[in-house]
Structure 1
Amino acid sequence: MKLEGKININDIGKFIITERTLPKQPNEYLEVSFPAKLTCDTEAVFDNINFPFAISSVKSHKIKSLQILGKSDEKEVHEIVLENENQFKFLPGDTIGILPENDEEEVEFILKRLDLLEKADIPCKIQLKNVSAKSVKIPVHIPKQTTCRVILTNLINYKCVPKKSLICSLLNYCENETERLFLETLSSKEGNELYNDLILKKSVNVFDILKAFESLHPPLSLLIEHLPRLLPRPYSISNSFLNNPKEMKIIFSSFIDNRGITTKYLKKIYNVNSTKIVNLYFRQPSKFRFVEEYYSKDILMISVGCAVSPFLGFLEEKSYLMEQGLEMGRWFLYCGFRCKSTAIYRSRIVNYEKNGVLEKYYECLSKEESTESEYVQDAIKKSQVEFSSLALSNNSILFICADGNLISKDIRACIQKCVFPDIDESDSKDIILDWIKSGKYIEEIWI
């Protein structure tokens, strides 16, 4: 058996080292019990849980449609349309948090491995053992009363890379000697390099280990103690409430061969689940939103990949407002994509340019075979005179949306050089920081 093609379980004996200095095992402080007559409402599992940046309670929303907008050799770009029946008001740039669920078959496997299959849906109680340490608490995301299936499906993330403290704690529950000695080696001081090479670098996760080590039967309480919370996934809303208050759209990309937990869940719930219901909440807005005070502003928008998503909402709202007779500022959009097949809603954006919603659209393709490789930084440099004049205007705002800190840093460095070519780098950096503080330069960074 292999750890998802990462480690051959038949070869682990050769990695076992004789000298093993083990850390002190952390004390186990939780227990899961099944008292008679205990009840719990699994439908209300999220009612008493706090979620990051939430400004609303968790509500169920129906998925109206899911489509692939673009595709490359490695990635697919998806759009999901959600019902907004309660017509919760949002602005372009606002975000929602979608609560994912772990894969049903994986959860079933873990329940079986933990000898909990027959008790999976029986109400259980999570409580502290007799511990004296005041710092020890039940994790805030775990209800005191729930079910084992709910915990594994909705509340903990077993697809994370295990820390050495968890591996060390698993030793007590591994019956096979070779498997136990291998885990001892990984958790030992002498096994640091092996842990880095076999676990960290290969992104071996907790589920991989449970699947590979057949004699491993840890209690659920141990997983609750060590595993992180299954966090909501934030997404930018890509449409206008003013134009269509009954819908919300989100756009996201995923690797074809390695989908994340939420992407896998969303695709499966739409294609398999007849109800097509997803749980989500609205997140606290940031400065990155199209508010009324920007109607008359000239706006420079810069995005890379799916980060164009909120700008589609910006443009839809501006188009709607212009149809109502409002006078708006001039807008310029710089978009970077891998290739034409991933340039989502290209025809719509081009139409915005033709209709005067956009003053100018700059499209940059970094991996298109038929054209020279170009990034948004290249387009900014080519239009340096126009870009600099707009950026320096007292009536302008810059919105930058990109995946990853490195890309946003490269874009910021490019803007500094183009707008302030004759100023010392440290001084131009300070000016950009002042712009950020004043709200002239607004970034949305997705990791």
Structure 2
Amino acid sequence: MVALNAFEDLIAGLQETDRLSLPGFKPSPLKVCYSSDNSTETSYDGSGPPLPFASSKIFEADILTWRRLTATNGDCKAVYEVTLDVEGSEFTFKAGDTIGIIPQNDDSDVDFIVSHLNLTSNADMPYSITVDTSTKGNKLPIHIPVKSTIRHVLKYCVELRSLLKKAFLLSLSRYTKDDKERKILEYLCSKEGAAAYSTHVLNKSLCILDIFSIFKTCKPPIEVLLGNLPRLLPRPYSIVNSGLENNKVVKICFSVMTNNNRKGLTTGWLEKLILNEEFTLENGLKNMRISEESQSKQKVSIYLRKNFSMFCLPENLENPLILIGPGTGVSPFIGFLEERELLKESNKDVKFGDVYLYFGCRNPKLDFIYEEELNNFLAKGTLTKLFTAFSRVDSEHRYIQDALKESGKEVVKLIKEGAHVYVCGDLNTMAVEVKETLVKCLVEHGDMTLEEATTKISHMQKHYQYVVDAWS
């Protein structure tokens, strides 16, 4: 049995545990009623879930062009740049802004849930939901339509890849027929199984798709999923280009991540849109244009997001800039440099500050994205210095922190001249280590104590002179 093989190390512990301390079980207060009419209406109890940080309405953007930025050979993640047509959207954006992309779950995942729960005959029937309000606090989650179809909700409304909370696991166990499978689910959500929950659920990012694949007899009513699965939230993406030059297109850059042998929800979907059967990659670097016949099918729902973090160029054009972005973290800085170049042309009497950019990747021959663009900015003087670090080849700098440390004296000089520092990339490792490196540079080259250097960076953050755009 698959469940026993996957959780073999739990069996001994289960046999030794007579009684488990379980969270309280709360039956689902939702009731789905199907209708035989032909209505396909989707409506909410109220206005529906709001768009996070929205500064515009949703716009259906056509994919104009795309290109692969990394090589197709070697151990190299696929990184793409996609150009979206936003003419008619009235979007007003500048370098550093982001868009939200409205994702959708993969049809194969939706079909799997529908099949597993024996909902094939009902999945496309209109439904209405009632809520048992006899118990205080019972309500319909804001992201679940009061009227729709199950297939629509599974595709557009709920996050099928979200981590499973213990209360959800307990509910799932109540609808698991096989005794051993049920006991494993109960153990995972019990106080005694806290370590196992971390090891098998959190660390492995198990989602409802995995549970149904492993625990074959776990077949809860659809109401249990609707009451427990969180909202399928929009995904934020940095805008690569500057709206000062052309506000009729939006460019985004993304790498296709893989987790548990599944491609990233939004990045995998976008890759499917561009890599359809009409195209061949050849060397993976050519710019591709969507054909007229397929263009109407290649649409992405997007909206502009508010730039609360002030991740944008400073108003004072004389301020130096320190741009730090390994991997796809460099993408918003292409817009920064585009914008800087345009501002230079229209402000010829202003002495612009220096711009240092730090970029890191694994191998310059495989994943040095935007290399040509950066070298062009360097040749034109828009970019003063370009520092690189390559972690998988013999190079002077393996990581971006090494390059920062090596040029620490110059970095400190720029900071003392009023430089604005921008960091874009991974929050958990890179952003933390970059901050630590800059503090050390201030101590070593800035005649500061550790406390003074830390206070300096904190002061810069408070006044938006040190801005981080990071993801986890």
CA deviations 1:131-168 (Å, max 9, x no partner) are 321x3321121222121111111111122232221121
Give the RMSD, CA atoms, in angstroms. Answer: 2.8
- SS of 1:444's equivalent? strand
Q: Partner of 1:93 in structure 2? A: 96
CA deviations 1:148-202 (Å, max 9, x no partner) are 1111111111222322211211233223333333333333443334333333333
The alignment status of 1:220 with 2:222, answered yes or no, reads yes
Moved segments of 4+, more than 6 Å: 9-15, 43-47
**8 Å CA contact retained: 2:81, 2:251:** yes
Q: Partner of 2:53 in structure 1? A: 53
The alignment status of 1:411 with 2:410, answered yes or no, reads no
Q: Taking structure 2 as the reference length, what is the TM-score of the superposition?
A: 0.85
Q: After superposing the two structures, state which structure 1 stretch, 381-390 or 148-157, moved more.
A: 381-390
Residue identity opposite 1:108 in structure 2: D
Aligned runs of 1:54-203 on 2, under 5 Å? 54-71=54-71, 73=75, 75-86=77-88, 87-133=90-136, 135-203=137-205
CA deviations 1:327-384 (Å, max 9, x no partner) are 443222111222212111112101111111111111121222x424432222222222
CA deviations 1:281-310 (Å, max 9, x no partner) are 111113444357143322121112211110
**8 Å CA contact retained: 2:56, 2:91:** no
Q: After superposing the two structures, state which structure 1 stretch, 426-435 or 68-77, moved more.
A: 68-77
Q: Partner of 1:314 in structure 2? A: 336
Q: After superposing the two structures, state which structure 1 stretch, 324-333 or 351-360, moved more.
A: 324-333
Change (3 A) 1:298 1:109: same
Aligned runs of 1:377-416 on 2, under 5 Å? 377-394=401-418, 396-416=419-439
Give the one of 403, 426, 431 matched to 2:456.
Answer: 431
Q: For 1:399 and 1:280, locate their aligned partners in 2 and report how far apart those are by CA, in whole Å.
A: 25
The alignment status of 1:20 with 2:24, answered yes or no, reads no
Residue identity opposite 1:62 in structure 2: D
- SS of 2:256's equivalent? strand
The alignment status of 1:270 with 2:292, answered yes or no, reads no
Q: Partner of 2:377 in structure 1? A: 352
Q: For 2:113 and 2:262, locate their aligned partners in 1 and report how far apart those are by CA, in whole Å.
A: 21
The alignment status of 1:366 with 2:391, answered yes or no, reads yes
Q: For 2:203 and 2:256, locate their aligned partners in 1 and report how far apart those are by CA, in whole Å.
A: 21
Q: Report the CA distance between 1:15 and its aligned residue.
A: 6.5
Change (3 A) 1:197 1:378: closer
CA deviations 1:31-69 (Å, max 9, x no partner) are 211246584535999973202111122221112233321
CA deviations 1:366-423 (Å, max 9, x no partner) are 222x4244322222222223221111114x3222222123321211121122134332
Identity of aligned residues (%): 33
Residue identity opposite 2:115 in structure 1: K
Residue identity opposite 1:250 in structure 2: I
Q: Partner of 1:442 in structure 2? A: 467
Alignment coverage as a number of residue pairs: 442
Q: Taking structure 1 as the reference length, what is the TM-score of the superposition?
A: 0.90
Change (3 A) 1:389 1:139: same
**8 Å CA contact retained: 1:54, 1:281:** yes
CA deviations 1:66-86 (Å, max 9, x no partner) are 332115615222211111122
Q: For 1:203 and 1:334, locate their aligned partners in 2 and report how far apart those are by CA, in whole Å.
A: 32
Q: For 2:422 and 2:62, locate their aligned partners in 1 and report how far apart those are by CA, in whole Å.
A: 31
- SS of 1:286's equivalent? coil
Q: For 1:237 and 1:209, locate their aligned partners in 2 and report how far apart those are by CA, in whole Å.
A: 36
Q: For 1:105 and 1:246, locate their aligned partners in 2 and report how far apart those are by CA, in whole Å.
A: 34
Q: Report the CA distance between 1:265 and its aligned residue.
A: 1.3
**8 Å CA contact retained: 1:70, 1:78:** yes
Q: For 2:197 and 2:405, locate their aligned partners in 1 and report how far apart those are by CA, in whole Å.
A: 45
Q: Partner of 2:281 in structure 1? A: none
- SS of 2:105's equivalent? coil
Change (3 A) 1:122 1:440: same
Q: After superposing the two structures, state which structure 1 stretch, 292-301 or 6-15, moved more.
A: 6-15
Q: Report the CA distance between 1:206 and its aligned residue.
A: 1.2
Change (3 A) 1:183 1:440: closer
Residue identity opposite 1:29 in structure 2: P
Change (3 A) 1:129 1:85: same
Q: For 1:400 and 1:183, locate their aligned partners in 2 and report how far apart those are by CA, in whole Å.
A: 42
- SS of 1:218's equivalent? coil
Q: For 2:257 and 2:46, locate their aligned partners in 1 and report how far apart those are by CA, in whole Å.
A: 29
Q: Partner of 1:301 in structure 2? A: 323
- SS of 2:271's equivalent? helix
Change (3 A) 1:417 1:11: closer
Q: For 2:63 and 2:45, locate their aligned partners in 1 and report how far apart those are by CA, in whole Å.
A: 21
**8 Å CA contact retained: 1:302, 1:334:** yes
Q: After superposing the two structures, state which structure 1 stretch, 320-329 or 307-316, moved more.
A: 320-329
Residue identity opposite 1:390 in structure 2: L
**8 Å CA contact retained: 2:319, 2:417:** no
Q: For 2:43 and 2:248, locate their aligned partners in 1 and report how far apart those are by CA, in whole Å.
A: 25
Q: Partner of 2:284 in structure 1? A: none
Q: Report the CA distance between 1:208 and its aligned residue.
A: 1.1
Change (3 A) 1:199 1:402: closer
Residue identity opposite 1:382 in structure 2: E
